[in-house]
Structure 1
């Protein structure tokens, strides 16, 4: 049985990249109605040409996979233009358009991103000031991959001279409570080979950017279940030991206390290490060919990616989070991004959030640092850098 779905207005605005002359007003605001009119009057061909150009830059995509993805994207744009229902198969075309256009994920190289990368075309203007003064590279290099015996467990980022912020559920993958009768926020590491690596691709690293995790400084008091519970604090603070060589830990990003920086519609970027995604389903069964196609859009899992996006709902606007410490964002993420830094694309590009969960084709979730500042005791410890 084939399932059908609508292309909602928000996804449509993320799936296409418009030139300025495609807009019908001078306020730079793109509405879904404008996008549909644009697609009906030549825009679909323009978007398909762009998609094919970008896909040809992905050397891992075979000719058959290329054609299947192009056909799926063509269906998605056609249905969107005419406000028609989209088949479940076509949603993969929509997903590819979103990832390649409005919400790309770009692999970092030498601790930075190339603003000439075609995937960043719609973001280049916003990113350029941070690239020119070196801020972007500093923030990217302060995000590392947390490993257990060399295996990817999650992401973390530097918030002090020897301190790493990550998720409690990442901690649960590498450490255990000290005792069944002890405090729920007291952990001991499961073995001596827990580390964080700040290289672009830790699997190919020589270890010069790797630091051993030696202590759990503090964590949220409640165990984190497999299904995210937004009422719980999914955060943990770790300490690393000095590097055996003269290599020092990257500079702390600095946690922002200003709630205005995580307000709705603010531009942000997610920096972290995505892992292999869950299997997409087609008619109740895994679509193995589409899994292969979409995996090529992330040429290598477990390496560092930079994903720009937008705050969708501020920390005070999400029902069911009585502590008001969670906000939504739409930057592209996958499992493994847990513990990623959400940085503001404004001011000094400091951290406004700690990414901890996502729901496919709906939203991603992060703890707002401004709301954690006065409510989380272990983040008040000496050494955590606030901005």
Structure 2
């Protein structure tokens, strides 16, 4: 049985009673742009997966599959509950912990410039910030092997109900205030000996970027990634609570008189996530980012190899998650979740094909199954029903911003 607290901590990804009807936006398949032959996506299967999510698990969902020779875009559901306005397939959304891949890329570029090293202890750049900062390295932070307590685990204590959270939606959090939520919390394990997803790691990495470069991490993300790649719809919003341009709304469930009603949480000061999960983007921009990253355009091969070296059993490298589909296809990218929004962004290892989907969770239906179907339709060669008997799950590691 899902409690209100569980639903709050999962960013509304838990079961709720209201189900919305699906309004389908036609899929778009672009014609080939080069002489290279490439499998045209199974548009029917892709759209069916989106419709399945909108039929009981989400108020709205949009996705893009990108390949060198074609682009497919689709959407299902509504942009706002209570309306019939379709989800904008070019809409912007909160990406949550997909932010971590951008931060990690900046850190590794700095490593490539010899301005810091993965083996540097935290104390070298942030003296005295952590009790055991002489034992925790930059690599530990990037890979979630630091053992540092996850500050977002404390948010459910500060905001135990949806009204508490909504009342604080405009609050500005400073990085030192987020770190203060970990004060007095013992290490989870000795650094480097285990794995535990912690947003605190990326708050610390954001501060390290500032110490190394003299600039806020947002400035470095714009200068090093957004501008060179032309990602004009991607934003590091800081304290701005609004989503500019076309977008779908996100919701949290509130129990009232025995029923669950949707509370619109689209407007939110994302400083509560900062370098761990504050960014906004589009499916197009995220696909182009992960295509460039996995295709070797942002990092030298040795550093990209480091980024894609997973900790044993964790399927997580340095700011990148990995997922292996039935048939052995390996994908690299990240998932993200922040109140009202879930994101899945994955790319083939060569960077040639990408899928990004944004979901506004709402409903009691199955979300994982259609997400797996979406991935199989986008990447499996050939498209086939290979899900049966395969324990494949799409994970959103953190309860608030993961």
Same fold per TM (> 0.5)?
no
Give the TM-score normalised by structure 1. Answer: 0.25
| Higher relative contact order, chain-length normalized (CA < 8 Å, sep 6+) | 2
Structure 1 or 2: more strand by fraction: 1
* Structure 2 length-normalised TM: 0.24
